[in-house]
Amino acid sequence: MKVRVGNADEVEAFIPDHRNRRSVGAEGMTGATGRRMHMSILPITEAFTKYLADERHFSPYTARCYGADLRQFVEFLSQHHNLAIDVDREREALQRDLSKVRDGAAARTVTDLIRSANGELVRTFLAFLGEQQYSAATMARKIATLRSFFKWGDKRGVTAGNPMTTIRTPRQAKRLPKAITIEQVEQLLAAPGDGEMLGRRDRAMLETLYSTGIRVSELVGLNATDVDPSGEALNVRGKGKKERVVPLGSHALTSIKRYLEMLHADPKFGPAAQSNANTPLFINKHGGRLSSRSVRRKLAKYLKQVGLDPTISPHTLRHSFATHLLDNGADLRTVQEMIGHQSLSTTQIYTHLTTTRIQDAYRNAHPRAQAS
């Protein structure tokens, strides 16, 4: 393995001060409490998650998911090699010259193990994950986390190389996205009441999700100024803080206008909503920005109210948006741009769903579609 002198000083700027944390032995790493779990955050892994947030502009949720996968990796190394974690020692290990930590057998800290990691060490961890009976999708996500982490470490000179170049991601069975019918969409959108502000907000929120196909994280990130009534469009900040403009249907636009009329007339929330350019479009009952979890709770409420499948999620409306567009002849590239997919191949999965529907309709309707 080619060893380079590490640029640990470059990483040091990302690392918060953890000197008030106590050391924790390997036997303490499996504790379920937050007090113990946070001790498996090393300076090297925290530097990486900070890089994801500050330079790659990952959402807080995505960065947390990466961090959780890395904490599991750290906990495994701590237990498997019987190494207690002391944050000060882990910080010192990160600052050492790579040539002094390239031999994993002589590792004194978990950071030493990570910086000198090879394919064998990673495969040992993956074997452990395999024993936990994770799904292929979860395994693929955890491997992707390690792949991103070691690619970053190798590029920054923090690790002695990238052991993930020898690791293959297991193949996953392709699952077609779930979509609901137009009739079910209409039934759902009609559920929220119109007599109070929160009911109008919920109607506007659901109409916007289906009208634009945006992600729930993009929905709650909208500001009132992101709505362009004259252009019938919405300015959306997607993954990696990439902005795109998406069309806003007349039904969604009308629902938003009706919601804002009642919001602006409200003596409690109206003044603040009209005075700040960064006012959230969809507010909670306290006037703050609505959370993704709250959107899911509201959706679950209306699904139960109208008797629809309780497993339907905000992402189901996104899938339905794309599927219904393609069913009615929309161009695949246009759909890709509207829903913000970076790769056309990601959008193409919806064509499989549309093809499946066509085949089902053919088999059910054509007199010679099936052998007697």
Give domain limits for the chain.
8-166, 182-312
Active site (annotated) includes residue 200: no
Among residues 203, 215, 298, 319, the one annotated as catalytic is 215
Does 215 participate in catalysis according to the annotation? yes
pLDDT at 117 exceeding the cut of 70: yes
Most distant CA pair in the chain, distance? 76
Say which of 71, 318, 319, 324 is annotated catalytic. 318
Has residue 26 got a pLDDT over 80?
Answer: no
The average pLDDT across 58-66 equals 87
- Average pLDDT, rounded, for the chain: 82
| pLDDT at 284 (0 to 100) | 93
Q: Sign of the C-alpha dihedral, residues 15, 86, 146, 160?
A: positive
Give me Rg for the CA atoms of the chain.
25
185-214 confidence digits (pLDDT tens): 999 999 999 889 999 999 999 999 999 999
Catalytic status, residue 4: no
Least confident of 59-68, 92-101, 277-286, 313-322: 92-101
Active-site entry in 66, 259, 302, 350: 350
Mean pLDDT computed over 320-348: 79
Residue predicted with more confidence, 363 or 289? 289
Q: Which two tokens stand for residue 132?
A: 């936990």
What is the DSSP code (8-state) at residue 80?
A: H
Amino acid at 355: T
pTM: 0.60
Strand partners, 16: none
* Spatial distance between the Cα atoms of 263 and 28, rounded to a whole number of angstroms: 51
Distance CA 195, CA 262 (A): 10
Lowest mean pLDDT among 64-73, 271-280, 281-290: 271-280
Distance CA(119)–CA(166), nearest Å, equals: 6
Which of 183-200 are b and which e, b meaning 16 or more Cβ less than 10 Å from the residue's Cβ?
Answer: ebbebbbebbeeeebbeb
pLDDT of residue 33: 34
pLDDT of residue 149 exceeding 80, the answer is yes
Mean pLDDT computed over 245-250: 90
Residue 105: what pLDDT?
54
Residue 103 has pLDDT above 90, yes or no: no
Yes or no: domain 182-312 corresponds to CATH 1.10.443.10: yes
Is 315 designated active site? yes
User: Sign of the CA dihedral 254, 256, 257, 263?
Assistant: positive
Q: Which residue in 91, 115, 203, 341 is the catalytic one?
A: 341
293 catalytic, yes or no? no
H and E: helices and strands count for the chain: 17, 3
Q: What is the pLDDT of residue 272?
A: 80
Beta bridge partners of residue 223, listed in sequence order: 280
Better-scored residue on pLDDT, 336 or 83: 83
DSSP letter for 166, please: G
The total number of residues written for the chain in this structure? 372
The residue from 36, 89, 239, 258 that is catalytic is 239
Query: Is 134 designated active site?
Result: no
Q: How many of the other CB atoms lie within 10 Å of CB of 370?
A: 9
Amino acid letter for position 366: H
Which of 64, 141, 251, 315 is flagged as catalytic? 315
Backbone angles phi, psi at 293, to 5 degrees: -65, -40
Q: What pLDDT was estimated at residue 252?
A: 94
Q: Determine the pLDDT at residue 283.
A: 93
pLDDT band for position 343 (cuts 50, 70, 90): low
Q: For residue 234, which amino acid is it?
A: L
- pLDDT band, residue 126 (cuts 50/70/90): very high
Cα–Cα distance, 294 to 288 (Å, whole number): 12
